[in-house]
Structure 1
Amino acid sequence: MPSPTIGRRVRPAYPILLLLAPVLAAGCATTRPGVPPDGAAPTPSAVWATGEQPAAPAATPTTSRPASPAPSSGKPSPSAPRAGLRHVFPVRADNVDYHTTHGAYPATDVFADCGEPFVAVTDGKVLEVSRVDRYSKSGPQGPDNGGLSVSLLGDDGVRYYGSHLSVVGAGIEAGVRVRAGQQLGKVGRTGNANNVCHVHFGISPPCTGKDGWWIRRGVLWPARYLDSWRQGGNREPAAEVTTWQRKHGCPKAP
């Protein structure tokens, strides 16, 4: 009596592999950054649907067809704050001094000869540049006090602001990437500098969409960080800035 299978195609028995493949694939999730833990691994059904392939180890489909990262993978943004960045003193000069206090609000005046380089404290992106001194003693006191200035958003998520500059460097514009120690401008006495050569230095959080001069000018006392950077240390203000913003948010103009 002829076998009932003659003349008919026999499909390999893969149900067990189909059941095991998702389990094996899930075991690789922790080694694949960007793949959601709730199952973005590739389904093996597309590989095995035709029934034409010979039996193979269950791991083959998952290793030969890696999953594409899902839109909600939680992959870190390129602009996410980074820790451990190099920080440098903001004025490159031999004869330099600064106060540990400042009038009316937290900031520091760094005194040096006019023309000495004002540099980027850390790697980051230029946020704002003022190349025109609009300050007037008879005008509003606050918005234009800085004269020529540059503000930098460091890759550590902190904004660093320097003002009263005599000049802003060529090519230093909003959106430009800079490196720690790169010159941004020169020490000067523009704005409300009382005719004394110095850089007004402020540390603050960037308050996107709600920002203003009253935040940009500084919200933390910088001296402890300046002390560290001047001695070649790398004390980081990011944690203190984060704590301040959680407490105060982005306050309106005083």
Structure 2
Amino acid sequence: MPSPTISRRVRPAYPIMLLLAPVLAAGCATTRPGAPADGAAPTPPAVWATADQPVSPSATPTAPVPARPAPSSARPSAPLPRTGLRHVFPVRADNVDYHPTHGAYPATDLFADCGEPFVAVTDGKVLEVSRVDRYTKRGPQGPENGGLSVSLLGDDGVRYYGSHLSVVSSGVDAGVRVRAGQQLGKVGRTGNANNVCHVHFGISPPCPGKDGWWIRRGVLWPARYLDSWRNGGNREPAAEVVTWQRKNGCPKAP
């Protein structure tokens, strides 16, 4: 158990360890905080159209001119994210550790015993589920790295992704609504977890119709949100996600 005077997410050896975290091309750190690590990959830098207004006919037309019908509505838009939603820590266990950073791209790994519950961060709808581990070291590194996984679109407009699960809970399927704290699966070591029990956790925008694993895996550093939720706070990532997407859009595969 970590010393009560030291945050469990950051241990004294981190400044050196985080420079040495092992990284696959699109994979996870595979050492629990406090354990030795080797190899590191650098972290890369992380319109609405309005409908035309109706045109009014001339006040004194010389010939009958049909009025242009007013558009029924502006261009369809996504619902505005809700604020003030409850957020909870994504692994329901006493002994959970995580690095404040992650190799190669913004995300984090939540280290806990295999079988501990992975839960919904907030109210929302399940976007994607993978119940089959298709990862192989001889295959492409990236698309199947997560093994068993669940991604959730929160009612706050943010996507939360957990992978390397040992099992996805029964009834957790795409389109199903879930509540904050509801179990989605269990901590595992599928995909490229390298036999280390943990959940890869990523925060990203949903990018409907243009999505890919390179966005779903994470685009923001989650640690400050995890710190808040773990301590009973409710720090919300929606504003940072919106800012990131305005700047980056939905980027193509690296």
TM exceeding 0.5: yes
Say whether the 8 Å CA contact 1:80–1:155 is kept in structure 2: no
- Cα offset, 1:81, TM superposition: 1.2
Q: Does 1:154 align with 2:179?
A: no
2:58 corresponds to which residue? none
1:45 corresponds to which residue? none
After TM superposition, the structure 1 = structure 2 runs for residues 27-42 of structure 1, keeping only pairs within 5 Å, are none
Q: Does 1:112 align with 2:112?
A: yes
Q: Distance in 2 between matches of 1:253 and 1:128?
A: 18
After TM superposition, the structure 1 = structure 2 runs for residues 85-234 of structure 1, keeping only pairs within 5 Å, are 85-234=85-234
Post-superposition CA distance 1:168-200 (Å, at most 9, x none): 000000000000000000000000001100000
Q: Which amino acid aligns with 1:134?
A: R
Secondary structure, in 3 states, of the residue corresponding to 1:150?
strand
Secondary structure, in 3 states, of the residue corresponding to 1:161?
strand
Q: Distance in 1 between matches of 2:93 and 2:146?
A: 21
Q: Distance in 2 between matches of 1:176 and 1:71?
A: 31
Secondary structure, in 3 states, of the residue corresponding to 1:211?
coil
2:252 corresponds to which residue? 252
Secondary structure, in 3 states, of the residue corresponding to 1:160?
strand
Post-superposition CA distance 1:36-79 (Å, at most 9, x none): xxxxxxxxxxxxxxxxxxxxxxxxxxxxxxxxxx95499x97x4
Q: Which has the higher helix share?
A: 1
Unaligned runs of 5+ residues in structure 2 are 1-70
Q: Distance in 1 between matches of 2:246 and 2:171?
A: 34
Q: Which amino acid aligns with 2:132?
A: V
Q: Distance in 2 between matches of 1:87 and 1:141?
A: 32
Q: TM-score, normalised by structure 2?
A: 0.70
Q: Distance in 1 between matches of 2:81 and 2:173?
A: 21
Count of residues paired in the alignment: 185
Say whether the 8 Å CA contact 1:117–1:187 is kept in structure 2: yes
Higher Rg of the two aligned structures:
1
Q: Which segments of structure 1 move beyond 2 Å, counting only runs of 4 or more?
A: 70-74
Q: Distance in 2 between matches of 1:229 and 1:237?
A: 11
Say whether the 8 Å CA contact 1:128–1:152 is kept in structure 2: yes
Q: Distance in 2 between matches of 1:127 and 1:148?
A: 14
Q: Distance in 2 between matches of 1:99 and 1:110?
A: 8
Q: Distance in 2 between matches of 1:96 and 1:209?
A: 34
Q: Distance in 2 between matches of 1:138 and 1:80?
A: 43
Unaligned runs of 5+ residues in structure 1 are 1-69
Q: Which amino acid aligns with 2:214?
A: W
